[in-house]
Amino acid sequence: MATTVRETERKYEAGGAGLDLGALVERLAAAANGVAPAVPVTMSLSAVYYDTADLRLARAGLTLRRRRGGDDAGWHLKLPAGTDSRDEVRLPLGRSTRPPAHLVGLTRASHRGAGLAPVAQLDNRRRRWVLTDSEGRTLAEVVDDQVTATTPDGAPPTSWDEIEVELADGADPAVLDRIEAELLAAGAARSASSSKLGRVLADRMPLAPGPPRAGPKATAGEAVLAYLGRQAEAIRRTDPAVRRELPDAVHQMRVACRRLRSALQAFAPLFDPERVAGLTDELRWLAGELGAARDLEVLEGRLDSAVARLPSELVLGPVSARLTRYFAPRRAEAAAAATAALDSDRYLVLLDRIDQLQADPPLTRRAARPARTELPARVRRSLRRAERALREAAVQPPGEERDTALHTLRKAAKRLRYAAEASVPVVGKRASRFVDEVKGVQELLGERQDSAVARSVLRQLGAAAHTGRENGFTYGLLYRDEVARSERAEAGLDDAWAALRKRAGWADG
């Protein structure tokens, strides 16, 4: 079974300072308000790093290695997890030198099926000091690494010394800052590379061109491509998290798909239709495959919270147990469907098309117009579309037709919001405030839709409880509460839309 460890660490170089870490470690411990052992633990580590021939994992910030030695020997996959932090997914060492299928799967969005082979070996002579507080709790580890790196191409080995400081689980992040201040004062410097492998492969990974500009003077094409680029990165970044079934990961990927798709629709005149043909359909497919898992996650949380808010005397029968029996198999099935979609060739083709969209943008002449005029014009069109949907919903009587009309309005509001989001770097605060108001409308419509779905499930659960000779009172109570929540959401829609309209001046032209 794989285990995951969150690592928060910083790397330093002594450079020409002639730094004696052994003599300095007492000062580092004092800076962290802790103590250090008099003698460090020494160990020898050797790791073989795997990647594609063109270093697709390294370019994505991923590191896959097979390490021997130390107290955590095994297969390690490091995934970005924020500033100074990475999640390390670990599997036992085993006898095979082929990367485990589980870790290969987690990196699929980066390697795209290309073979993984050794790209470097790092041998490391390490000294480690564990800094603890006065009660013996670990604060941080300070290590002195003497590294020798070799590569399969036969290039001469390279060697260097490196200092690494890793924060202990649960320790105050300020510990890192205090230790860093002491190291910098002693003449050390932060490493230019965030990983040892990155240092070895730096000459094979030239800096990629930066994203298109998205400031006030940007063209319409530059502004929209910058927005699309952020969504494409979100899809790639969340792929391993979806496969690991981390909380909110499916939601993040699904929203990125929707944003990318909505932007392509809202700003369609900026792109050659032949070269983007079918792309929005494929993004809809992926969002749909992720949808069941996300919808179940939201609904289960909604009903669990509703039950928890009830006084205990109003929860009659095994309500929580029945909710668990309802959702557990459905969540497992939805998670399997989401993973199957990510494992499909269709998904890889979609990722390639998204990459191509960024690498060789199929822009029209219209994309060369100033973003400050072109983007608001496209937002206006999305606003008019949403207003038509609002008028259509307003004349529908309560019932299925009104529900359908309000769902159409919700989708139009999402497209409006995402189009406005792309305009924020160009227009500034006025567009940002408008986005907030559209989000408010969208949340009311989402609350109403979620309530409708919850009521349908509560009817099923109540009927099943009755068949099982259980008391159905609580399900009826929850159903009544959902009706009230739906009515409150719909009642707030007029005011929310009025607030949105007051902020729409920048897009009205």
Nearest 5°: phi and psi at 24?
A: -85, -20
Q: How many CA atoms lie within 13 A of 292 on its CB side?
A: 16
pLDDT at 17 over 70: no
Q: Would you state the pLDDT for residue 162?
A: 93
Predicted pLDDT of residue 211: 65
**pLDDT for position 208:** 63
- C-beta separation of 430 from 503 below 8 A: yes
Q: How confident is the model at residue 165 (pLDDT cuts 50, 70, 90)?
A: very high
| Residue whose C-alpha is closest to residue 201's, from 62, 343, 397 | 62
Q: Quote the pLDDT of residue 82.
A: 85
pLDDT digits (tens, 9 = 90+) for 258-281: 999 999 999 999 999 999 999 999
Phi–psi pair at 123, nearest 5 degrees: -105, 135
pLDDT at residue number 297: 92
Residues 6+ apart with CB under 8 A from 395: none
Q: Are strands 63-68 and 41-51 parallel, antiparallel or unpaired?
A: antiparallel
Tell me the C-alpha distance between 47 and 380, whole Å: 56
pLDDT confidence of residue 65:
98
Confidence category of residue 209, pLDDT binned at 50, 70, 90: low
Would you state the pLDDT for residue 20? 85
Q: What is the DSSP letter of 156?
A: P
pLDDT per residue as tens digits for the range 398-419: 888 998 999 999 999 999 999 9
Q: Decide if pLDDT at 212 tops 80.
A: no
- Cα 296 to Cα 403: distance, rounded to the nearest angstrom: 20
pTM (two decimals): 0.90
Query: Is 80 exceeded by the pLDDT of residue 296?
Result: yes
pLDDT at 342 over 70: yes
pLDDT of res. 38 = 84
- Tell me how many degrees the CA angle 249-254-258 measures, rounded to the nearest 5: 150
In sequence order, what are the residues at sequence separation of 6 or more whose Cβ sits closer than 8 angstroms to the Cβ of residue 164?
A: 9, 10, 11, 12, 141, 142, 143, 145
pLDDT tens for 239-251 read 999 999 998 999 9
- Tracing tokens 């998290």 back to the chain, one arrives at 241
Mean pLDDT, rounded, for 427-435? 96
CATH class in words for 220-508 = mainly alpha
Bigger pLDDT: 491 vs 508 = 491
Q: CATH says 3-204 is which class? A: mainly beta
Give CA angle at 365 (362, 368), nearest 5°.
95
Which position has the token pair 């749909």?
Answer: 288
Tokens 């289960």 appear where?
300
Region 455-465: mean pLDDT is 95
E strand or H helix that includes residue 94: none
The domain locations on the chain are 3-204, 220-508
Mean pLDDT over 186-191 rounds to: 92
The β-bridge relationship of strands 74-80 and 189-190 is: unpaired
Return all residues near 404 (Cβ < 8 A) that are at least 6 apart: none
> Which pLDDT value is given to residue 16?
64
- The CA radius of gyration of the chain, in Å to the nearest whole number, is 27
Mean pLDDT of the chain: 94
Share of the chain above pLDDT 70, in %: 98
Residue 488 confidence class, pLDDT cut points 50, 70, 90: very high
Question: Per-residue DSSP letters for 251-290?
Answer: HHHHHHHHHHHHHHHHTGGGB-TTTSTTHHHHHHHHHHHH
Chain segment 108-137, per-residue pLDDT in tens:
999 999 999 999 999 999 999 999 998 999
Q: Are 131 and 35 in contact (CB under 8 A)?
A: yes
Mean pLDDT for 18-25 is: 86
